[in-house]
Structure 1
Amino acid sequence: MKSIALPADVIFNIYRLEYHEYDANVLSLSHVCRPWRDVLQRFPDFWAKIDLYLGGRNPEFKALYWAKRAGQKPLKIHVRSDSQRPVAHRAIVRTGLVLRSCMDRWDTFTMDARSREIEHLLPICTGCTPRLRNFSLSCRPGSPEDPMRLLVPFLPSVEPPSDSSRLFVSIHSYIPRFTTFGVGITRLSVNVSMDPDHHSFDLNDLFSIFQSCPNLIEFDFSALGSEHTGPASFDGFIVLRRLTNFSVSWVWNIEDVLNVLRLPALESITLHEVNWSDAARAALWNVLGLSHSLSSVLILQDDDYSYERNPVPFHGNPLTLSNVAIFHMWGNWTLLQPLLDLLTLPHVQELDLAGASIRTAHRLISFSTNLRSLSLRNLAEVPADLDPTPNPAPAPILFPSLTSLHISGFPLFFNYINAPKLGTLALENRFNSACIVNSGAFLRVVPERSASALTTLRLSGLDAGDKDIQWCLERLPALEELSILACAISDSLLSALASLPVPNQSQNTDWILPRLKRFTFDENDHITPSGAIKFLASRTLNPVPGITGHFGFKHLSHRDATAIMSYGSFLAAHHDIVYHMNLEDDDED
């Protein structure tokens, strides 16, 4: 059969389609025949994406050839090396010279290499980068533990940055120093890790970044290991007029940073793993009070949420954050709870608290009735010797827009909630077994307050048994996802879910959970493999085929595992691994 030659414009469109979907296949298509290769030579978009492996053969020749074929297209350049093969200094220099010759066309420049290659190649690339929109530098493992200060030698465009200018810079494992290039940076992410006992980083490095990047809009900085950083020698203020998103992690003396900065446009602040001294709390309070556009506050600290002593008093004025829509606070509650006691969030829509006292959580949500998502994790009852004030009476608060609720540590807090549009409910008690008394009784209010909308229910660590949970599930016909972990249920509940109830005057003849699509039953001591098999035999066929989920047991025989797996992948991960290991052993035998 005679082949038909495709017109050049058709081949070009094939390349364009393949270029956007699978870049690596474009060269393979050029092997069809000479006309296809000729068309590829005239396809500049392909050549404008230059991937250079410094350990390969003559990377400078590839850079030169591809940059030429790209015409005047903006270039997306990725330079990489690995930790196994050393790169000759000559190759680094030659590649750097080629890249410098086309810096005026750089749109994206990323380099993922060892410190030696970075510190030799980057200084060669001194010049203007007027088109640059993304610059990323990542130092591979094997570099010195203490991050070095690295000068980024690029120069900015002759024209000053406009309000629409956007330049994203990401630096990993280096403390960057910028020339006047920093004036054009609008998004900056710096991530360094260091030896806590020997690092040379101090806050002057951070302030130098702020001073050299006055047009920042988003800033993300993490310095793991810098807990013992000494005070800065900087005296004065730094104004970042355009900064809207501010995120800092692992900077221990955060008060020195917050007291120096002036952020009139701040909309989002994230502080992770910082030391909440009295000075730090006062500095945060000052920032919150002055940031009238603030809409998101995230205070995140992995800590032991316990009441070992009285909360450290905080002598601040009450504060109302009227524009805050997202508020998360996890941390050392002896230090942070006094802040919450002075805070009001009238328009918050997403609230996530970890370790709060019941009284504090209740006070805060009672003024936040516009909530759409509420997470109260590790709720705690304050011991009477620390706070004799009784918990508030369990009168439910109406949340007309609440669709997601997660309560752990004290699931009885649900008694304070009335959410007619609730779609997702998680009630957990994994850490404080004293709080699960009468779990079954309060579960019976769930259908009353959320029956029409609830599609996801997760229960964990409750003493509720078959009767109470079945009563609840029978009244949740819209439920699509059910997760029950470490509860007092047995095969009796699975049997009820597996078949139609016996019809009589007090029961209907519908399936329990007719829309169930996903399930999890794990760590329930009285659930047996035989109960799971009966459930799967029915539910994998009716009433919703294609159900997914898994079972977990304390003990599971290979025979029972085989029976369960005959219906599909319905075993928890640890059972699944053992099951397939046994299959491999059987094959070897």
Structure 2
Amino acid sequence: MQGLSPMSELLQGPLIHRLPDDALLEVFGAYYGTLRPRFTLSDALRLSDVCHLWRALARRLPCFWSHLKLNVTNREVDHRAAYWLGLSRKSTLFIAIHAMYPSPSYLTEETEEDFEARLVRLAQVLQPDMNRWEFFSIRLQTQNVDLFLQHCSTDNYMSHLKTFKADYIEGDDSTQIPVCLRNIPYDRPPNSEVNISAYCDRHIPTFASNFGRAMTSVSVDLGPPANTFTLPIPLLHLRHLFISGIYDLNHILASLYLPSLESLKLHDMDCTNLVVDSILEIFRRCHSSLSHIDITNDEGGAEDINGGLDIPNEGLIVLTSLKYCCIRLSNSNHLLRWLVLSHIEALNIANVRFDIAYPLISSSTRLRTLTLDDIYGPTTPALFLPALTILNIGTSFHLLDLLLAPELTSIKLRGTKVSAGRHTSLEPLCRYVECCTLPLRLLHLESVDMNDVQFLWCMERLTELESLTLAHTNVTDAAFFTLAKPLPASSGAPPSWVLPRLRKIDISGNDYLDPPGFIEFIASRNGPGGMPAEAPEQATVTAKRSR
């Protein structure tokens, strides 16, 4: 039999070998685009190891060699970096430098001088291409990060750099090293695009002015509290500050100068007197710029119920730009008693005396969303809130007797569990509904003590209600059997229905509500003619039986 022609042999080979070079390059480019920005040098090496053809083609794609993950404990790291940089040509670079700890056995005899010399050589290899860096991260011991940055710096602008990460690793015997300022010797052109993110562990980075102005995100992880530092840290353009999980905040907050701060979020902290003083000082300095405050810790019960904190007559802090305020501490009185919130639109406070909460709630005619939990102490006459549309109350249901909110469309009441010693009753809501004509669209009742008569009485009067949630209440199926039937006709008018506009109902954890009553209610709203025109569109049921 005659042998096959070269063309026939080619056509009978695997499809991947029949593709022309340009088509393979398109495939490789699509592969890169799919993985970017998670593409790594390992991905490029896997492709180039398939065969000689793929290796040759992979070397023609500069983007494949632009993601350099460089392990400084490798003795050839500087030579490899130089080779890959040559293949990357003019592509923007993604560089990650690290050291494998603990060092491999073949490096145990290497001196620190040898390691540092190799790190300097690597810095010198990378330095000429710094203008191409888009992403840079380094994770080494502190002295080695400083050494690298010293030898890999430039007087030119780094126009493409968008992400900078530095993780300063301390030795086992240096757990008490104080937090320090670390200069990052890079800069951006004046008026360059604002798009830089910076991340730093264990130390606080300082940046050149243009670099700082172009920054939109800064994340600093300082670890456990160390010795305090006294140098003031000016962050002139920082707008958003979020600190979580550092219980002794005073040594940080007291050192920050934040004249442009707009948003302050402090979570999971120990709210000592020193921390409160530092927070208040930030409020004073940023009284005209702050628009968002969110300060919380592990909440306990209200403290100092019998008093102990007077409302100051002078020195009050007027936060003129504040729109959102959430302060939920084990005792929020220490902070809130100093504040005046004349333009607040959303207020969320917990564990506060009523005489401190009252001026905060009543001082703004723009208040639209109000959340109150564990408000205690003697109350005063009614609160008129003309713009309020959303009201959330936890345990302090008696406040409903004081509120006058003609535009209210949403009420959420969360009490203690019905099985607990202190019940939170539906009676205040019944009184509120009786006194006011509400355009209520949403009602959420959680752990509220009620009987079927109270529940049905409220439902008959909330004719605009569209969403109802009942969680951990003691309403029974009898109430839903009643809701499944129209109200008796009167004066020749057709029968009417309770909750005619209800579109969504969520039922969970109600021990006395069995499926038959709820099923009949749903069936009545989705039945044949004569039923309400607007039937519930969504119903979710979670069964919980603990009896």
**What TM-score do the two structures reach when normalised by structure 1?**
0.66
The match for 1:358 among 354, 357, 360 is 354
Query: For the structure 1 residues 450 and 46, does the alpha-carbon distance in structure 2 shift closer, same or farther, using more than 3 Å as the test?
Result: farther
1:72 and 2:87 are equivalent in the alignment: no
2: CA distance, partners of 1:361 / 1:448: 26
Q: Are residue 444 (structure 1) and residue 439 (structure 2) matched?
A: no
The equivalences for 1:477-492 within 5 A come to 479-480=466-467, 482-492=468-478
Q: Secondary structure at the match of 2:438?
A: helix
Partner of 1:267: 262
Q: Does 1:462 align with 2:448?
A: yes
Q: Which amino acid aligns with 1:14?
A: A
Q: Deviations over 1:342-395 (max 9, x none)?
A: x2x232122121122334333322222212322222222x1xxxxxxx523346
Distance 2:49 2:520 in 1: 56
Give the structure 2 partner of residue 124 of structure 1: 148
Matched residue, 1:49: 67
- The offset of 1:102, in angstroms, is 2.2
Q: Which residue of 2 aligns with 1:155?
A: 185
The aligned amino acid for 1:155 is P
CA contact (8 A) 1:436 1:461 kept: no
Match of 1:551 in 2: 543
Q: 1:219 deviation in Å?
A: 5.1
Contact in 2 for aligned 1:398/1:417 (Cα 8 Å): no
Cα distance, 1:169 vs. partner?
A: 2.6
| Counterpart residue number, 2:485 | 501
What is aligned with 2:227? Answer: 201
CA distance in 2, matches of 1:505, 1:253: 69
C-alpha distance after superposition, 1:551-575 (max 9, x if no partner): 33326xxxxxxxxxxxxxxxxxxxx
Displacement of 1:446 after TM fit?
10
1: CA distance, partners of 2:193 / 2:26? 37
Question: SS at the partner of 1:284?
Answer: helix
Q: Give CA deviations for 1:240-293 in whole Å, capped at 9, x if unaligned.
A: xxxxxxxxxx22695x547xx4x5434334455465648954982685376433
Question: Using a 3 Å threshold, how does the CA distance of structure 1 residues 23 and 191 change in structure 2: closer, same or farther?
Answer: closer
Could you say which residue in structure 2 is the equivalent of 1:372? Answer: 368
Aligned equivalent of 1:574: none
Instruction: Identify if the C-alpha distance between structure 1 residues 495 and 34 changes in structure 2 by more than 3 Å, giving closer, same or farther.
Output: farther
- Give, in angstroms, the shift of residue 541 of structure 1: 8.8
Q: Is the 2:228–2:251 Cα contact (8 Å) retained in structure 1?
A: no
CA drift of 1:106 comes to 2.6
Deviation at 1:428, TM superposition (A): 1.3
Contact 2:346 2:370 (C-alpha < 8 Å) held by counterparts: yes
Q: Does 2:539 correspond to 1:521? A: no
Contact persistence 2:362–2:384 (CA under 8 A) = no
Could you tell me how far 1:17 is from its partner in structure 2?
Answer: 4.6
Q: What is the CA deviation profile of residues 453-487 of structure 1, one whole-angstrom value per residue up to 9, with x for unaligned ones?
A: x24x321232223333344446366634x432332
Structure 1 letter corresponding to 2:186: P
* Whole-angstrom CA distance in 1 between matches of 2:145 and 2:252: 35
Aligned 8 A contact 1:444 1:471 in 2: no
User: 2:381 maps to what in 1?
Assistant: 393
The 1:553–1:307 alpha-carbon spacing in structure 2 relative to 1, beyond 3 Å, is farther
2:6 matched residue in structure 1: none
Q: Distance in 1 between matches of 2:404 and 2:87?
A: 65
Matched, 1:171 2:186: no
Q: 2-side partners of 1:20 and 1:312: how far apart? A: 57
Alignment of 1:68-107 (within 5 A): 68-79=86-97, 88=107, 94=118, 97-98=121-122, 101-103=125-127, 104=130, 105-107=132-134
Looking at structure 2, the residues matched to 551 and 140 of structure 1 have their Cα atoms a distance apart, in angstroms, of 51
1:110 aligns with 2:129: no
Q: 1:137 aligns with which of 166, 169, 193?
A: 166
Find the aligned partners of 2:400 and 2:48 in 1 and give their Cα distance: 64
Alignment partner of 1:14 is 2:42 = no
The Cα of 1:54 is off from its aligned counterpart by: 7.2
Cα displacement (A) at 1:33: 8.8
SS at match of 2:165: strand
Instruction: Kindly indicate whether the alpha-carbon contact (under 8 Å) linking 2:294 and 2:327 is maintained by their aligned counterparts in 1.
Output: yes
Distance in 2 between the 1:552 and 1:49 partners?
Answer: 53
CA distance in structure 1 between the aligned counterparts of 2:266 and 2:283, rounded to whole angstroms: 12
Q: Quick one: structure 1 residues 215 and 295, their matched pair in 2 at CA, closer, same or farther if it must change by over 3 Å?
A: closer
Q: For residue 70 of structure 1, what is the amino acid of its counterpart?
A: S
Counterpart of 1:328 in structure 2 is 326
SS in 1 for 2:437: helix
Distance verdict in 2 for CA 1:12–1:222, change over 3 Å: same
Q: Secondary structure at the match of 2:89?
A: coil
**Which residue among 312, 319, 333 is the counterpart of 2:309?**
312
RMSD: 4.8
Aligned equivalents of 1:391, 1:13: Cα separation in 2 = 69
CA distance in 2, matches of 1:121, 1:439: 63
Q: Unmatched 5+ residue regions in structure 2? A: 1-10, 528-534
Q: Tell me the distance in 2 between the aligned counterparts of 1:45 and 1:433.
A: 66
Size of the aligned set, in residue pairs, is 492
| CA–CA distance in structure 2, aligned partners of residues 434 and 410 of structure 1 | 11
Query: 1:346 aligns to what?
Result: 342
Per the alignment, residue 530 of structure 2 pairs with: none
Pairwise CA distance, 1:521: 1.3
Structure 1 residue aligned with 2:532: none
Cα 1:409–1:146 change in 2 (3 A) is farther
| 1:395–1:16 Cα change, 3 Å | same
Amino acid at match of 1:109: F
Distance 2:473 2:482 in 1: 16
Superposed CA deviations along residues 469-525 of structure 1, whole A, max 9, x for unmatched, are 344446366634x4323322123345567xx42464165358866422x62412x34
Contact 1:429/1:462 (8 A) holds in 2: yes
Q: Which amino acid aligns with 2:134?
A: D
Higher mean displacement: 430-439 or 368-377:
430-439
Pick which of 423-432 and 535-544 moved more. Answer: 535-544
Alpha-carbon distance in structure 1 between the residues aligned to 2:208 and 2:445: 54
For the 8 Å contact 1:189–1:219, the answer to whether it is kept is: no
TM-superposed CA distance for 1:427, in Å, is 1.0
CA deviation after TM superposition for structure 1 residue 202, in Å:
0.6
The 1-side partners of 2:271 and 2:209 are apart by 29
Of residues 72-81 and 213-222 in structure 1, the stretch that sits farther from structure 2 once superposed is 213-222
The whole-number CA distance in structure 1 between the counterparts of 2:47 and 2:456 is 60
Contact 1:252–1:274 under 8 Å retained in 2:
no
CA distance in 1, matches of 2:357, 2:344: 14
Of residues 28-37 and 123-132 in structure 1, the stretch that sits farther from structure 2 once superposed is: 28-37
Report SS of the residue matched to 1:136.
strand
Give the CA deviation at 1:410. 0.8
CA spacing shift, 1:133–1:20, aligned 2, 3 Å: closer
